[in-house]
């Protein structure tokens, strides 16, 4: 589930953690997601994309149900929440996850992170078109800046348009961002009956079912050598990198201002790029750094502007 917005629920969400605990939850989510990028790339040296995502989702689903049960928040979804459960599960937890894993096979981690995190750039025009949200000047400036960064990455003088693997990799990552954006637009439009936090285990469980069927159909039963290194990588990707990150991000979103959460999440791609540079030796190019500044700067401008408007 994306947490760039804070949808309201008709039911109580239980006792709220302290503000410090909410900030710690946000920091945990951002760090786990950022470090998870090079970890997921390392797993792909051993397993194909579908198997990687299915196994990660399976472990994460078990962990999320255990967390929910321990906090006495394990409740069946209301039938009126089922459409958004399907949307989050299929668009984000399944489609986005699979496309990102495929993209990581062909595109360096740093570039992959930037492309996948262009999601907010597509939300702004989508919200204006489908939700009737006003396209303010700061939001428009943010989109223009972000698209400028994207154009910089696809500069005809720097990008090899004849490399089919590069085209497939970059295309799948942009499509992943579109799917994530579509999921968030549905989240914004949905009138929640249960607390969004309580639906995460069910969303992950549905994603696990779909991914497992896809993986077994396409990849068959995993035949890789289960080295301790691979096991630890999978456990990190599934537990801190998925289960804890989703849960912590939802906790932060429910207890911190929306703009704080949104801006905090922008640290995840920076952490991912730095971590991939340290662990995988992928030193960011000047073009990538400039693109990151433009894209993240554009997202930040577009995020801050509606929050200020709400305070007037």
Q: Which helix (H) or strand (E) holds 191?
A: none
* Residue 121 · residue 299 · CB < 8 Å: yes
Report the interhelical angle of 109-116 vs 19-43 (nearest 10°): 130
Predicted local distance difference test score (pLDDT) of residue 164: 87
What is residue 99's predicted lDDT score, i.e. its pLDDT?
A: 97
Q: Where are the domains of the chain?
A: 33-307
In order along its 312 residues, the chain shows pLDDT tens digits of 344 444 444 444 445 567 788 889 889 999 999 999 999 999 999 999 999 999 999 999 999 999 999 988 888 999 999 999 999 999 999 999 999 999 999 999 999 999 999 988 898 888 888 888 887 888 888 889 988 988 888 876 667 778 888 899 999 999 999 999 999 899 888 888 888 888 999 999 999 999 999 999 999 988 888 999 999 999 999 999 999 998 888 888 778 776 777 788 888 999 999 999 999 998 888 888 998 999 998 888 877 765 554 444
Task: Give the span between the Cα atoms of 210 and 27, in whole angstroms.
Answer: 30
Query: Which structure tokens are listed for 256?
Result: 């911190």
Q: What is the pLDDT of residue 209?
A: 98
Of 108, 107, 114, 113, the C-alpha closest to 168 is 107
**Distance (Å, rounded) from C-alpha 136 to C-alpha 127?**
12
Local structure of residue 192 (DSSP, 8 states): B
Report pLDDT for 166. 87
pLDDT of res. 43 = 96
* 111 vs 265: CA distance, rounded Å: 17
Query: Rounded to whole angstroms, how far apart are CA atoms 202 and 80?
Result: 14
Both tokens of 211, joined, read 């991914």
* b/e per residue 263-300 (b: at least 16 CB within 10 A): bbbbbbbebbbebbeeeeebebeeebeebbebbbbbbb
**Block residue for tokens 């905090």:** 264
Angle at 55 between CA 247 and CA 116, to 5 degrees: 60
| Residue whose C-alpha is closest to residue 249's, from 233, 235, 260, 238 | 260
Q: What is the pTM of this model?
A: 0.88
- Joined together, the tokens standing for residue 180 give 């994530």
Q: Which two tokens stand for residue 254?
A: 């429910």
What is residue 58's predicted lDDT score, i.e. its pLDDT?
97
Q: What residues contact 23, with CB distance under 8 A and at least 6 apart?
A: 252, 256
Placement of tokens 């190019």 in the chain: 285
């Amino acid at each position: 589930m994306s947490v760039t917005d804070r949808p309201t629920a008709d039911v109580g969400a239980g006792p709220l953690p302290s503000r410090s605990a909410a900030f710690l939850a946000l920091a945990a989510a951002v760090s786990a997601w950022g470090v998870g990028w090079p970890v997921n790339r390392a797993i792909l040296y051993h397993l194909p994309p579908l198997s990687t995502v299915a196994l990660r989702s399976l472990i994460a689903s078990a962990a999320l149900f255990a967390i929910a049960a321990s906090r006495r928040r394990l409740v069946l979804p209301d039938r009126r929440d089922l459409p958004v459960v399907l949307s989050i599960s299929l668009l984000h937890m399944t489609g986005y996850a699979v496309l990102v894993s495929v993209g990581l096979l062909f595109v360096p981690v740093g570039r992959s992170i930037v492309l996948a995190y262009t999601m907010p750039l597509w939300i702004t025009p989508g919200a204006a078109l489908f939700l009737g949200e006003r396209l303010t000047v700061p939001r428009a400036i943010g989109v223009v800046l972000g698209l400028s960064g994207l154009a910089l990455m696809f500069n005809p003088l720097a990008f090899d348009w004849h490399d089919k693997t590069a085209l497939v990799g970059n295309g799948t990552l942009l499509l992943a961002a579109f799917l994530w954006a579509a999921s968030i637009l549905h989240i914004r439009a949905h009138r929640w009956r249960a607390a969004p936090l309580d639906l995460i285990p069910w969303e992950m469980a549905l994603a696990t079912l779909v991914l497992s069927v896809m993986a077994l159909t396409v990849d068959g039963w995993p035949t890789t050598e289960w080295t301790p290194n691979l096991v630890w990588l999978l456990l990190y990707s599934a537990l801190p990198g998925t289960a804890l990150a989703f849960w912590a991000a939802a906790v932060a979103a429910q207890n911190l201002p929306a703009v704080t959460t949104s801006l905090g999440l922008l640290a995840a791609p920076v952490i991912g790029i730095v971590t991939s540079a340290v662990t995988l030796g992928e030193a960011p190019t000047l073009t990538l750094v400039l693109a990151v500044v433009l894209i993240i700067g554009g997202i930040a401008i577009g995020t801050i502007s509606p929050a200020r408007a709400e305070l007037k």
